[in-house]
Homo-oligomer: A and B are copies of this chain.
Amino acid sequence: MKRRQFLATATGGIAASVLAAPAIAQSMPEVRWRLQSAFPKSLDTLWGGAELFCRLVSDLMEGRFHIQPFAAGEIVGTFQVADAVGDGTVEAGYATTYYYVGKDPTFALPCDFPFAPNARQKTAWMYHGGGLDLCNEFFAKHKMYAVPAGNTGAQMGGWYRKEIKTVQDLQGLKMRIGGLGGQVLQRLGAVPQQISAGDIYPALERGTIDAAEFVGPYDDEKLGFSKVAPFYYYPGWWDGGPVIHVMINIDRWNALPKTYKAVINAAAAQTYVDVLGKYDARNPAAVRRLVGGGAQLRPFSQELMEAAFKASNELYDEISAKNPDFKKLYESSRAFRNEEYLWFQVAEYAYDSFLIRSRAK
């Protein structure tokens, strides 16, 4: 990049003393950014990802690249992060981009959507299947560059006040769920609702809603749903492995020196590994405690899964017919998923299947 261009656009000031320092230091100007997390501090896994990313960037740059994380609502709210990054209110964000499907449904595809590739497959698509470039072609239209920096793994299908055995049981079901998953459930007869995390419990308790999806055992446990909606379904077929992205205002990204970009990529990858590992490590004990506390674990029926798969594919066809960005990313992701499962069903799945059966022996 051109140094002049960087000086013109970097925020937060470059210490005057640096300008007089030798070349080795001149290449490392001080940069100070703000990162708006879409997650509150109570979600310690996801907020922890935002904190970790910022700390790693600072550690790698000996403090010369300083990014301060802000919890949801401190600068803008959860659903304004994409706008705030795009218009430069903040230099960076940390979010699941499917929160922004209201702007364009294409925002779901880099993150997660019903029957998407699983967490590992999505990473392979990003780094070795052309996904990262395709996603950033799209993100550029919204004035941002984004890089994967976390994943929750496959989530649960939510908490229900009554058992859901067939598609018939979804008719009129008022459920807290957003994004494309909510649109698919609507096609199956449910009534999706947008409710913020703190309001879910009282709404379930009063019966204002009949069901709610959130994340998985470790996060869900904190909100105590099992007391008011004990049927805990799996899998979350709209959340098979959502990617959390670090989103960066595209002018800020383009203006960064090469080393600073390398630092962001490396810190994001380390955060990705850490966040997914944390979920995987904490979910088992949480699932034990939830079941001990009365949660009734239930798999969605094959009938319901098949109806959801069919409705999802119809939805994707309809959106693709009028949205070329969506079509391009969806077709790439779907083709990649189908190839991946061809292979995953062999060694990976057979290995897991045996150990699931043999675990207790």
B-side contacts of A360, CB under 8 Å: 338
Q: Say whether B21 contacts A350, CB under 8 Å.
A: no
Asked if A24 is at the interface of the complex by the 8 Å CB criterion, the answer is yes
Give the top 7 A-B pairs by smallest Cβ distance, nearest first.
Answer: A128-B281, A124-B280, A269-B270, A266-B266, A235-B351, A154-B347, A284-B339
Q: What residue of chain B has the Cβ atom nearest to residue A129's Cβ?
A: B281
16 contacts between A and B (CB under 8 A): A24-B28, A24-B62, A118-B355, A123-B277, A128-B277, A128-B280, A153-B347, A154-B347, A217-B343, A263-B266, A266-B269, A269-B273, A272-B273, A302-B354, A309-B361, A344-B356
State the copy count for this chain.
2
Closest to A342 in B: B284
Contact (Cβ within 8 A) A270 B280: no
Whose C-beta in chain B lies nearest to the C-beta of A156?
A: B347
A97 contacts the other chain (CB 8 A) = no
Looking at the complex, which one of B24, B157, B274, B284 makes contact with A340 (CB distance below 8 Å)? B284
Known contacts A59-B259, A120-B120; A347/B270 CB under 8 A: no
Q: Size band of the A side of the interface?
A: 35 or more
> Is there an interface contact between A345 and B350, defined as CB atoms closer than 8 Å?
no
Task: Quote the shortest CB–CB distance from A171 to chain B (angstroms).
Answer: 22
- In chain A, positions 113-172 with a C-beta closer than 8 Å to chain B are 115, 118-121, 123-129, 153-157
Q: Which residues of B contact A299 (CB under 8 A)?
A: 350
Beyond A127-B277, A155-B347, 13 additional contacts (C-beta under 8 Å) are: A118-B352, A121-B280, A128-B278, A157-B347, A235-B348, A235-B350, A269-B274, A281-B336, A287-B343, A337-B359, A338-B360, A341-B356, A349-B356
Q: Find chain B residues with CB under 8 A from A24 CB.
A: 21, 24-25, 28, 62
Q: Are A237 and B124 in contact, with the CB atoms below 8 A?
A: no
Confirm or deny: A267 has a beta carbon within 8 angstroms of a beta carbon on chain B: yes
Note all chain B residues with C-beta closer than 8 A to A351. Answer: 118, 154, 235-237, 240
Closest to A268 in B: B270
Q: Tell whether, in the assembled complex, residue B154 and residue A348 are in contact, meaning their CB atoms are under 8 Å apart.
A: yes
Q: Does A265 contact B (CB under 8 A)?
A: yes
- The reply to whether the CB of A1 lies closer than 8 angstroms to some CB of chain B is no
Contact of A259 among B60, B266, B280, B344 (CB under 8 A): B60
A348-B62 contact given A124-B281, A338-B360, CB 8 Å threshold? no
A283 at interface by CB-CB < 8 Å:
yes
What's the Cα separation between A352 and B237 when bound, in Å? Answer: 10
Asked if A68 lies at the interface with its beta carbon under 8 angstroms from chain B, I say no
- Say yes or no: B287 contacts A346, CB within 8 Å: yes
Assuming A234-B346, A263-B60, is B118 touching A273 (CB within 8 A)?
Answer: no
A285 on the B face (CB < 8 A): yes
